[in-house]
Amino acid sequence: MSMYSGLVRVMERAARKAGGKLRRDFGEVEHLQVSRKGPADFVSKADQIAERTLYDELLAARPDWGFVLEEGGIIEGDPTKPRWIVDPLDGTSNFLHGIPHFAISIAVQEPKLGGGGWGDVTAAVIYQPVIDETYWAEKSRGAWLHDGRLRVSSRNRLSDALIATGTPYQGHGDFEEWSKIFSAVGPQIAGIRRFGAASLDLAWLAAGRYDGFWESGLSDWDTAAGCLIVREAGGFVTDFRGRSQPIHSAQVLAANDALHSKLHKLLAPALK
């Protein structure tokens, strides 16, 4: 805890408070009231309660900052101040099916100098409530799991690499694009995993558990924290064409230096 800055401490405290409520509701998942908001896209009362808890905690700490919320949308703050990007429950389908793999994701995004939009993500927390793991990073301070420094894996051969992804499903994703990438990447690597929470995929990549990750059609709240954590762990995050932005959501390709280059060389011709 002593390593945390004041800002990360605020984020971690908010995540733990919301995470405690998610753990409680996860234990009684069969009793949750669930409404449907789109094909295979569910929102639970637990999700809404977690978001409200995060909003209240973060607002109290920084009352003039704005928000980008998965459920609540954009809430404007002082345009000269940072804003919070919040996913209160990444892995909602896992949660509702009793699968203990979901997370809370919080990122801080700075306004561009001179005004006109948003720039770098400078702080991030991803909290996995069930196993009580807190991944965090601050720009130029490295990436951490609690007080242990994170580094992306050092594997440099595709044949040794375990790659995470998200697969298209009912109403979401581009099946044709995913199939092309899978056909190009799958035969070259040691394995592919799809666990259903992009924020944790990126956190596990930063921790060296995965060696690479690709997905498209995500939202900023899915990836904002994870992109910073991977970069601060020594990894590379780009779109499928190799272009780098502060947040990647429409297209995400992440890995260490050697594997990122090799994966990009497989993806690029597959998508022409």
CATH class of 158-270: alpha beta
Which tens digits make up the pLDDT trace of 83-106? 999 999 999 989 988 899 999 999
**Residue 97 confidence (pLDDT):** 87
Rounded to whole angstroms, the Cα distance separating 156 from 154 reads 6
Report the DSSP pairing between strands 66-69 and 83-90: parallel
Burial of 46 (0-12, 13-18, 19+ CB in 10 A): buried
Helix (H) or strand (E) holding 222: helix 220-232
Q: Mean pLDDT, consecutive 10-residue segments, the chain of 272 residues? A: 82 98 86 64 82 98 97 94 97 90 98 88 98 97 96 98 92 88 96 97 98 96 98 97 95 97 93 84
Report the DSSP pairing between strands 251-255 and 212-216: antiparallel
Rounded to whole angstroms, the Cα distance separating 180 from 177 reads 5
Rounded to whole angstroms, the Cα distance separating 81 from 99 reads 38
Which tens digits make up the pLDDT trace of 11-48? 999 999 999 999 998 888 767 667 766 554 566 888 99
Q: Where are the domains of the chain?
A: 6-149, 158-270
**Residue 42 confidence (pLDDT):** 64
* C-beta of residue 92 within 8 angstroms of C-beta of residue 105: no
**Residue 2 confidence (pLDDT):** 45
Report the DSSP pairing between strands 162-165 and 191-193: parallel
6-149: what fold? Fructose-1,6-Bisphosphatase; Chain A, domain 1 (3.30.540)
**Residue 45 confidence (pLDDT):** 86
